[in-house]
Amino acid sequence: MKERGKLSLVTFNGRRFDEPLLQERRALQGFADPLPEFLSLDLYPVCRKVFRYASETFRLAILAERFLGHSRDEEPSFRGEITPRYRRFLIDGDETWIEPIREHNRWDVLDTMALSLWILQRGLEPQRVTNPDIALGMGGFFAERHKKAEAFLSLRRAAELFEEEGVNGGNEEKLSVLGKHLKRIES
């Protein structure tokens, strides 16, 4: 992607993990800093806003499973093993140590891109949103960024979906939040 003559860097939790790691590696190897050339979008804080009412966790693999229908069931769980596996690879050069890491990273890249497109599509076309919690999260996301037209369309979609569901025990608080967002964009 290019915007205003700059390349875009899309990450998931990149500000906390990828960018500092890239900066450290760059400095160790004496390379020039390429990051000023990039427009950076960290999808993690976007997901925390958009899915705040629809998910209790914001791990990429979980969001991909719930909202994209992609499951990593076949992927071995090796949380906590990444650093030891990488160190073993550095010691003996045996690529079998890092193959699961490569596969995990491959899925992270694919899921990050798919999730960013999923959010973008629903931001541009709120009528595609079928979950009122997501429409509410998107409306709040846009309202906080003073994108009044986008916020209004997403919040209107949330109201339509909540109305279809009918008011039940969990929606009164969300309807109150919806009203607060609408007041924010009216002012």
pLDDT of residue 7: 65
The count of structural domains within the chain is 1
pLDDT of residue 172: 82
Average pLDDT over residues 32-51: 83
Average pLDDT over residues 35-58: 88
pLDDT of residue 1: 46
Structural domain includes residue 71 = no
Percent of the chain with pLDDT over 70: 88
Over residues 124-177, the pLDDT tens digits come to 999 999 999 999 999 999 999 889 999 999 999 999 999 888 766 567 888 899
Q: Rounded CA gap, 83 and 129, in Å?
A: 39
Instruction: Name the amino acid, one letter, at 126.
Output: P
Average pLDDT over residues 32-44: 76
Task: Using the predicted structure, report yes or no on whether residue 48 has a pLDDT greater than 50.
Answer: yes
**Helices 82-92/99-124 angle, 10° precision:** 130
In Å, what is the CA distance from 88 to each residue of 84, 85, 103, 170?
6, 5, 17, 50
Tell me the pLDDT of the chain averaged across its residues: 86
pTM: 0.80
Structural domain includes residue 62 = no
Over residues 88-110, the pLDDT tens digits come to 999 999 999 999 889 888 999 99
- Number of Cβ within 10 Å of residue 162's Cβ equals 20
Structural domain includes residue 166 = yes
Structural domain includes residue 97 = no
pLDDT of residue 2: 46
Confidence class for position 19, pLDDT limits 50, 70, 90: confident
Q: Rounded CA gap, 145 and 151, in Å?
A: 9
Question: Comparing 5 with 113, which gets the higher pLDDT?
Answer: 113
Confidence class for position 40, pLDDT limits 50, 70, 90: confident
The residue segments making up the domain with residue 135 are 126-187
Confidence class for position 8, pLDDT limits 50, 70, 90: confident
pLDDT of residue 71: 85
Structural domain includes residue 148 = yes
Structural domain includes residue 72 = no
Whether residue 104 contacts residue 78, with contact meaning beta carbons closer than 8 Å, is answered with: yes
